[in-house]
Structure 1
Amino acid sequence: MATLRVTRGQALAWRLGRQHLLVGAADATEVVRTLAAVSVFGADPDLSVRRRLASPGPPGEVQRALADGRLMRTFSFRGSVQVMAPDTAGAYLAVRAAGRQWARRSWVEHYRLAADDWPDLRAAVREVVADGPVPPRAVADALTGSARFGHLAREFAEPNHTLLKPLAWQGDIALGPDLAGPLVLQSPGAAPGWAGIPDLDEAGPRTVLEYVDAYGPTAPEHVHHWLGEGLSAGRKRLEQWWHAVRDDLVEVDVGGEPRWQVAERIDELALTRAEPTVVLLPGKDNWVVGPGTKDAWVVPHGHGTEMTRGVNPVLVDGVVAGTWRVDGDALEATVPPSEELSAEAGRLGSLLGRALELRTP
């Protein structure tokens, strides 16, 4: 079978559609499931998600989805807090837990906690958060007086986020739904769709395939950026998982570069035609952080520093072409005026709930 050849514009147009930036998704869970995880700190998860919805509704949709369990909040990528879909989060947590960070000598010595002590500690924590949301202090109170774990009470009382993270990765805790409130803990099972933590042999290949499906056409180095740098998966594991899903992928030629696409999406890609588009996204949106700021397809030379800092990108045909910000009732964009930009400015105003005057160079 001949290799499919497409332009970079076609590839990015397909990705724009796949990430719900051309035709919106039905609900917030579908958006987050597609993207795998949406950052909370230093980002605007609500705007990222609502820009991808067919019917965005008023601001606060991510908070509403967290409150009713359609989404969950936990520690995952890059040690930070992410909003995730309950039915797919477990696979990514399994990948993050694979390195068994808590078993390292430095951890064992610092926390005076051997690797084989963790199952009993985890059980104790699960018992406390089963009635959650509860403050970390509730775990501290439960551990106070324990001969084995009493010395950890102070760590939970602070709380020490570093100690909480492995409990999240292993599916023992999730963070409470309130994005603006104090840190509280609950069982991930509080989300009705929670599917648990699968075996790593199942989770690893699945996360690779899901990445290619959402961020394709792509290459192994981008998978390493997402799962290796993002979840500390390890290059050897990633190579094994890539090999495991290789039969589900098709190599394509994108402007002379070899890339890979999920086989069942190949016809969609072949039929995609690039149309002029302008999209305004918040800083640290998945469109940029998914492939990474070093990916010249999306972030050309000269824009990397701004994107790393979390400045809001203006995408022109899927490529970062400038930045935007709201100043009072003005929307200031650093790209030339166009019909597409004017339409997108109107959309942004609707998402923010106010009329904005577009200002361009």
Structure 2
Amino acid sequence: MASARGVGAVRVSWDQVFAWRMGRQFVDPRGGADAVAVVGRLAGVQTQVTSAAETAVALRTTQGKPGAVTKALGEKKLLKTWAMRGTLHALTPDVAAGVLSLMGSARTWEKPSWTKNFGATPQDIEALVKAVGEILDGAILTRDELVSAIVAEPRFHPLEEQLRSGWGALLKPLAWQGALCHGPADGTSVTFASPARLIPGWRGIPEPDVAAPEVISAYLGAYGPATPETFDAWLSRGSIRKPILRRWFSELGDRLTEVEVEGRKGYIRTEDADELAATAPARSVRLLGAFDQYVLGPGTGDTALLSADHRAKVSRTAGWISPLVLINGRIAGTWEVVDTDLIVTMFDNADAPLPELQDEAAHVARAMGTSPLIVTTE
């Protein structure tokens, strides 16, 4: 791997890395960026739970309130679709196009195990892409309307149950190939549209080799230093073939610099290397909401960020990711809101910094649109 500064030339501490990431991600300090800028900087915000996405964005601004993500989606400045790890994300259109390209390049729907689990062959998916492209040409349809239109063709009858599933397993490969995305909300009903029709100036799905440099750069600009394997865990849960993944990184050449962080090596964008090396450790307390990108980016398995002893308290059953307490950028506890109480649970029986947490509780109340919250500890 090429490095503008030589292999191992940049050595930093984890405290510096976490302070740099918090700055890049508008966690500390908070900024005045709008929802589109925040989502762009984070390379997408998970929207499996819409309120969590709203909280993630609002907590990264000094005045943000819930509704900014939904507003940007309605203005077609953001796109909502199944992206990283097969989960719903709000993304800027350019990042979305690149991510979808890389997700599609894994061709997960062509694996026999996928066909066994979901009942659709690769030929079925190819036919669905074509059919849905025609159905959504100029139309925005609810799930029921879309599926009813699909199964009007007899060959798709056996797939109806899976197509109607809220998990969207059969729809994800269509999203990754640019045939559909989520459309504007229709009351409580999910809608689907063609991104080419929905998003002004939609550029289509680029070739993976064209998309990879931009997606990798966007990722490292928020979550670096990182390895190719960490990037792929964030992107596809390890579905990209390793030789392809390594080639994508290698071809970035001098755009990447190797960094050593307390014995662990990874890559950062060369344009960020001096800033990272000059970053001082943070002295801050921050609260972040459920499913926050701060932990989803590097992954809950990163033991420098989250002790393995406490991983199960953050990465819980059914894929739930707990709200986070950050002390100097490290995950030091979790929290929840019950009525007007913000209940904090610190790890390892550590003392809770109550004055700082109460200051943060005011930001949480603003970001969630609730009445003032009082911090209590367990």
State the alpha-carbon separation in 2 of the partners of residues 356 and 327 from structure 1.
9
Q: 1:1-361 counterparts in 2 under 5 A?
A: 3-21=9-27, 22-41=29-48, 44-56=52-64, 58-104=65-111, 115=123, 121-143=128-150, 146=153, 149=155, 151=157, 154=160, 158-159=164-165, 161-178=168-185, 181-189=188-196, 190-192=198-200, 194-229=202-237, 232-309=239-316, 310-335=321-346, 336-353=352-369, 354-360=371-377
AA of the residue aligned to 2:234: W
Tell me how far 1:288 sits from its aligned partner.
0.9
Tell me how far 1:272 sits from its aligned partner.
1.5
Change beyond 3 A, Cα 1:322–1:102: closer
Q: CA RMSD in A?
A: 2.7
State the alpha-carbon separation in 2 of the partners of residues 122 and 103 from structure 1.
14
State the alpha-carbon separation in 2 of the partners of residues 254 and 144 from structure 1.
54
Q: Give % identity.
A: 34
AA of the residue aligned to 2:60: R
State the alpha-carbon separation in 1 of the partners of residues 246 and 150 from structure 2.
41
Change beyond 3 A, Cα 1:179–1:260: farther
SS, match of residue 194 in structure 1:
coil
Render the CA deviation track for 1:125-156: whole Å, top value 9, x for unaligned: 12322333202343444445546x45367358
Change beyond 3 A, Cα 1:332–1:262: same
Tell me how far 1:284 sits from its aligned partner.
2.1
AA of the residue aligned to 1:349: A
Render the CA deviation track for 1:199-256: whole Å, top value 9, x for unaligned: 11111233222221210122333223213416x2232221111111242111223234
State the alpha-carbon separation in 1 of the partners of residues 112 and 264 from structure 2.
43
State the alpha-carbon separation in 2 of the partners of residues 291 and 184 from structure 1.
31
Moved more, 103-112 or 66-75: 103-112
Contact in 2 for aligned 1:137/1:157 (Cα 8 Å): no
Moved more, 196-205 or 344-353: 344-353
Tell me how far 1:53 sits from its aligned partner.
2.6
State the alpha-carbon separation in 2 of the partners of residues 229 and 179 from structure 1.
32
Tell me how far 1:42 sits from its aligned partner.
5.3
TM-score (norm 1): 0.88
- Please list every run of 5 or more consecutive structure 1 residues that lacks an aligned counterpart in the other structure: none
SS, match of residue 82 in structure 1:
strand
Moved more, 314-323 or 63-72: 63-72
Tell me how far 1:193 sits from its aligned partner.
5.4
Change beyond 3 A, Cα 1:157–1:227: closer
SS, match of residue 132 in structure 1:
coil
Render the CA deviation track for 1:265-297: whole Å, top value 9, x for unaligned: 112112211231111111221111111111012
AA of the residue aligned to 2:279: T
State the alpha-carbon separation in 2 of the partners of residues 111 and 253 from structure 1.
46
TM-score (norm 2): 0.85
Asked which structure has the greater RCO (Cα within 8 Å, sep 6+), the reply is 2
AA of the residue aligned to 1:138: E
Contact in 2 for aligned 1:33/1:85 (Cα 8 Å): yes
Render the CA deviation track for 1:15-37: whole Å, top value 9, x for unaligned: 10111112325211121222223
- Please list every run of 5 or more consecutive structure 2 residues that lacks an aligned counterpart in the other structure: 347-351
Contact in 2 for aligned 1:140/1:156 (Cα 8 Å): no
AA of the residue aligned to 2:358: S
Change beyond 3 A, Cα 1:360–1:138: closer
AA of the residue aligned to 1:227: L
